[in-house]
Amino acid sequence: MIVDAFRSEWVKLRRTTLVLGVFGGLAAAASFFVVLLFSQAAAVGPGTADLPSLQVLAQPNGLIHGVNRVVVLLGIVAFGVAAFQIASEYSLGTLRQLLVRQPRRRILLTGKYLGVITFIVAAVVAASLIAGGVAVIMAHVRHVPVGAWFSGTGVKDLTEALGELLLAVVGFATLGMAVGLFLRSAVFAVIVGLAYLIAIENIVGRVLPSLNRWLPGQLLLGVGQGGNATTTFPRALLVSAIYLAGVALLAANTFRRRDVTA
């Protein structure tokens, strides 16, 4: 049963060091970003693309500026955690134990996937809540009125932005799990994945800007930001979904057929 595989995965995920590391790390990073955003922002004017002014931050969609800028950070963490969780089953040799107890590989993989995804989503939600609290404190410090944030429009915009962020994070995590399954080495999977997302896409995007619209990392960034200069949100969502569905099917099929020799 998928629910059994899901519950089994959570026995591994709920360990203190991992929870503190991922939940605490994400919350700390997001909060630090909020502190930087408010402390460095100019008081008036439109601000820059990277650094909006306090005047802009005070608007109903002010917090969204913060959310949009942490997509890459959260995506990379989601990718790394997911890749590590699945690839380490090969590295440690624990996969053979798991498959003896659950030989239906699709069920095992689905349960593990749902476990990792819920863990990452929970970490992102927790980090968002904490960073939101820090934003309120920082707004108070910089005398930014926050009333607009909690207006109907503000809450709606923020909810949408968080939803898009979570979709992107789920996408990055799915990509991470697929890479982990293909490479079967936790360290190798994380290094290769992050090198691709951080370095290779960046280089390719600079050399051939027209390709940005088709690169998976850029598309997921577009999803997380609700659309950007490179792509619209619906297009980013559609193409990402096609990419991820293809990769996930290929990974699942490989997992189902491949001999377990580790």
Partner 1 sequence: MSAHGPVLSLCDVLDLDQATSRDLAVRASGLTKRFGDRTVVDALELAIPRGSVCGFVGPNGAGKTTTIRMLLGLIQPSAGSGTVLGGDLGQPQSYLHKVGALIESPAFYHHLSGKNNLLALARLAHIDATTIPDVLDRVGLLQRADDLYRSYSLGMKQRLGIAAALLAAPELLILDEPTNGLDPAGIVEMRDLIRSLADEGITVFVSSHLLSEIEHICDRLIMISDGKTVFQGEVAKLRATRGDELILRPESESSLASLLTLVQRAGFAARVEEALLSPPTVVVEAGSDQAAPLNRLAMHADITLIHISERARSLEEAFFELTGTHSRDVETAHSLGSVT
Applying the rule CB under 8 A, the residues between 104 and 143 that interact with partner 1 are 104, 108, 111
Q: Which is nearer to partner 1, 138 or 252 (CB)?
A: 252
101 binds partner 1 (CB under 8 A): yes
Applying the rule CB under 8 A, the residues between 165 and 194 that interact with partner 1 are none
Which letter does DSSP use for residue 14 in this model? Answer: T
Give least dist CB 5 to partner 1, A: 6
d(CA 141, CA 25): 24
Among the listed residues 31, 68, 102, 212, the single contact to partner 1 using CB under 8 A: 102
99 binds partner 1 (CB under 8 A): yes
83 binds partner 1 (CB under 8 A): no
Applying the rule CB under 8 A, the residues between 6 and 35 that interact with partner 1 are 7-9, 11-12, 15, 17-18
- Site stretch for partner 1 (CB under 8 A), options 30-38, 97-105, 194-202, 236-244: 97-105
Q: Which is nearer to partner 1, 5 or 71 (CB)?
A: 5
254 binds partner 1 (CB under 8 A): no
d(CA 135, CA 30): 10
Among the listed residues 92, 141, 187, 199, the single contact to partner 1 using CB under 8 A: 92
**48-76: buried (b, 16+ CB within 10 Å) or exposed (e) per residue?**
eeeebbbbbbbbbbbbbbbbbbbbbebbb
- Please say whether the beta carbons of 60 and 160 come within 8 A: no
Give least dist CB 258 to partner 1, A: 9
Q: Which residues pair with 47 in a beta bridge?
A: 52
Q: Which two tokens stand for residue 171?
A: 């996408």
DSSP character string of 194-205: HIIIIIIHHHHH
Q: Which is nearer to partner 1, 13 or 41 (CB)?
A: 13
96 binds partner 1 (CB under 8 A): yes
Which letter does DSSP use for residue 50 in this model? Answer: S
- Please say whether the beta carbons of 221 and 72 come within 8 A: yes
User: Residue 135 burial by CB count (10 A; 0-12/13-18/19+): exposed, middle or buried?
Assistant: buried
Site size for partner 1 (CB under 8 A): 29
The footprint of partner 1 (CB under 8 A) covers 1, 4-5, 7-9, 11-12, 15, 17-18, 92-94, 96-104, 108, 111, 257, 259-261
